[in-house]
Amino acid sequence: MPVTAYAPASVANLCCGFDVLGLAVDAPGDEVTVSFNEEGIVRVVEIKGDDGRLPYELHKNTAGVAVESLWKAVKAEKGIDIAIHKKMPFGSGLGSSAASAVAGVVAANELLGCRLKKHELISYAIDGETVASGSRHGDNIVPSLLGGIVLVRGEEGIELPVPNDLHVTVIHPHVEILTKVARDILPQKVPMKDAIYQSANLGTFVVALYQQDLKLLGESMVDKLAEPYRSTIMPAYGQVQAAANQAGAFAFGISGAGPSMFAFADKAEKATAIGSSMKKALELEEIGSTVYTSKVNKEGAKIIS
């Protein structure tokens, strides 16, 4: 019987958590279906929703590499066919490649009857995402897999408390920013005082989550390491930020390497209003966009059939 898993999009960085924080949202996300084959190999047999942009070649496909990595580790006899259903944009800063890799390993874990716990799947999923990102990094993988708000240290994730009344609005402007460009714009060295300020903010962010203090959370969400540089290449960054703030956002930032941006609100209605407001700001610049609104997804990746 084929097994299908869903893995949600994730917002990495979260301002003060550049390269170390991420959270999962409800949607968008990717679906991956796996089934046994008699060829004794892992292969990608179908890709939908990608406009022909994703490779079928196993070692270039994030889900393919992730599934094969798990498959090799457990020394399975039967091969696996992988069908990928992309339901989210790539190059969006929403962890698209991570979602495919995560959905792949979660589905394969079920199909193979491995019964590995979710956190035991992290390194296989990272094997997959490394194909797309070029470095082993879990700030999208871990939240997509485990759900919630996660502090990522290397390949380990520490799950942080999620405030009940936290609502996330994500906007994906329909423009492309290459991750390489977003990376190359960052300096190799940063002022000592910025490093100190960033660490104090991240510490405060963690306190705010444990205290369920959204005011303090908002105060902590200032990014000194990436935003000053990356905001210059984001579409209409200042306008979108102002629109979010005017509509009641208590935090705003770049999602991952962009171009998506996110905002936090303390009520569902505000999150919706923030989405509309940000969308209008982009329309004024003649940039189309897609808005997603949800609470933090605490469940992470899951088997859906």
Q: Catalog residues that contact its own copies under the rule CB under 8 A.
A: 16-21, 151-153, 158, 160, 186-192, 194-196, 198-207, 210, 216, 225
Are 102 and 24 within 8 A, CB to CB?
Answer: no
Q: How far is the CB of 94 from its own copies (least distance, A)?
A: 21
| For its own copies, the closer CB: 199 or 305 | 199
| For its own copies, the closer CB: 145 or 206 | 206
| For its own copies, the closer CB: 21 or 47 | 21
State the DSSP H helix or E strand holding residue 134, giving kind and residue range, or none if neither: none
Tokens 């008699």 — which residue?
Answer: 38
Q: How far is the CB of 77 from its own copies (least distance, A)?
A: 39
Q: How far is the CB of 197 from its own copies (least distance, A)?
A: 9
| For its own copies, the closer CB: 41 or 196 | 196
- Copy the structure tokens of residue 274: 């923030």
Q: Which residue intervals of 212-267 are DSSP H helices?
A: 214-220, 227-230, 237-246
Rounded to the nearest 10 degrees, what angle do helices 237-246 and 268-284 cross at? 150
Question: Which residue, 113, 125, 102, is CA-closest to 32?
Answer: 102
- Copy the structure tokens of residue 254: 């770049």
Q: How far is the CB of 213 from its own copies (least distance, A)?
A: 10
What's the one-letter identity of residue 141? Answer: I
| For its own copies, the closer CB: 107 or 217 | 217
- DSSP symbols for 67-106: HHHHHHHTT-SSEEEEEEE--S-SSSSS-HHHHHHHHHHH
| For its own copies, the closer CB: 153 or 180 | 153
| For its own copies, the closer CB: 49 or 187 | 187
Rounded to the nearest 10 degrees, what angle do helices 122-133 and 96-111 cross at? 140
Q: How far is the CB of 13 from its own copies (least distance, A)?
A: 10
Query: Which strands form 167-173's sheet, in the order they lie side by side?
Result: 251-254, 261-265, 167-173, 289-295
Q: Phi and psi at residue 102, in whole multiples of 5°?
A: -65, -50
Q: How far is the CB of 187 from its own copies (least distance, A)?
A: 7
Q: How far is the CB of 3 from its own copies (least distance, A)?
A: 34
